[in-house]
C-alpha cells in the first residue's frame, strides 16, 4: 500500500489458478512493514462455509481490514446462498459507498470452485482471463509465471506452487511459506 497513512506498508501475494473443475488459491506468509518482516507465517487464504457451501478467499493488504471484509462477505453469502457473484457485487457496492468501509485497504480473490473473482474497494468485481488471478505486491510476478505455466501439463496446485516460488524469488515482500486451499473437482 502506498497510502500516506501506511508508510512503507506492503501487501502480499495471492494467486488463484483454475484448471478444469478445480481452483487452487495460494498465498504467501510474509507480513512486512517498511523493510522489516513482521511475520513470516501469516495465513492469508481462508475457507468460508456459509450455509454449508465452501468458498475460498485470499486477501492482500491490511489484515484487520481484510477480516472486516471477510465477515461482510460471509454475511452476503448467507443472505444469498449459492450466489457468489451477487454476494461479491453487493460487497463491492457496500465497500465503495459505505463511509466506514471505503477506507479499508485490502483486495480479495474469491472462488466457490465454479466462479472466480477479484473484488476491490473501487467497486470492481472482475472475472480473470486465462483462468488465473493474482493480487498483492508480488501479484504481477505470480500472474505472469502462472500464465506461462498454464501451457504445460501441470495441475492447478503445481502451477500455483511454482508460480508463487518464482514470485518469492523476485518480490522482497513475498516469501515461500504458502497456504494453499483447493476447491472444486
- Spell out the per-residue pLDDT of the chain, length 185, in tens: 444 444 444 568 999 999 999 999 999 999 888 888 889 999 999 999 877 789 999 999 888 888 999 999 999 999 988 899 999 999 999 998 888 888 888 899 999 999 999 999 888 999 999 999 999 999 999 999 999 999 999 999 999 999 999 999 999 999 999 999 999 85
| Predicted local confidence at residue 11, as pLDDT | 67
- Structural domain boundaries in the chain: 9-184
Structural class in CATH, domain 9-184: alpha beta
Distance, CA of 151 to CA of 96 (rounded, Å): 37
- Residue that the C-alpha cell 501469516 belongs to: 42
Residues forming the active site: 12
Is there a contact between 23 and 56 (Cβ–Cβ < 8 Å)?
yes
94 Cβ contact list (under 8 Å, min separation 6) = 72, 101
Residue 60 annotated as binding? no
- Residue that the C-alpha cell 487464504 belongs to: 45
Dihedral, CA of residue 116, residue 118, residue 119 and residue 120, to nearest 10: 180
R_g (Cα) of the chain, nearest Å: 15
**Centroid of chain to Cα 54:** 15
| Predicted local confidence at residue 167, as pLDDT | 97
The 3-state DSSP composition of the chain as helix, strand, coil percent (nearest 5) reads 35, 30, 35
Residue 174 annotated as binding? yes
Residue 165 annotated as binding? no
Is there a contact between 18 and 159 (Cβ–Cβ < 8 Å)?
no
Amino acid at each position: 500500500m502506498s497510502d500516506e497513512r501506511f508508510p512503507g506498508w506492503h501487501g502480499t501475494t495471492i494467486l488463484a489458478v483454475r484448471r478444469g473443475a478445480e481452483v487452487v488459491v495460494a498465498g504467501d506468509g510474509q507480513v512486512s512493514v517498511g523493510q522489516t518482516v513482521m511475520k513470516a507465517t501469516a495465513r492469508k487464504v481462508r475457507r468460508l462455509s456459509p450455509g454449508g457451501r465452501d468458498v475460498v478467499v485470499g486477501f492482500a493488504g491490511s489484515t484487520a481490514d481484510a477480516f472486516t471484509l471477510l465477515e461482510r462477505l460471509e454475511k452476503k453469502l448467507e443472505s444469498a446462498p449459492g450466489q457468489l457473484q451477487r454476494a461479491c457485487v453487493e460487497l463491492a457496492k457496500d465497500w465503495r459507498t459505505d463511509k466506514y468501509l471505503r477506507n479499508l485497504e485490502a483486495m480479495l480473490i474469491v472462488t466457490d470452485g465454479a466462479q472466480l473473482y477479484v473484488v476491490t474497494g473501487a467497486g470492481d468485481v472482475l472475472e480473470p482471463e486465462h483462468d488465473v488471478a493474482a493480487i498483492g505486491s508480488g501479484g504481477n510476478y505470480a500472474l505472469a509465471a502462472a500464465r506461462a505455466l498454464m501451457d504445460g501439463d501441470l495441475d492447478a496446485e503445481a502451477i500455483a506452487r511454482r508460480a508463487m516460488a518464482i514470485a518469492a524469488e523476485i518480490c522482497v515482500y513475498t516469501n515461500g511459506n504458502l497456504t494453499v486451499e483447493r476447491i472444486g473437482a
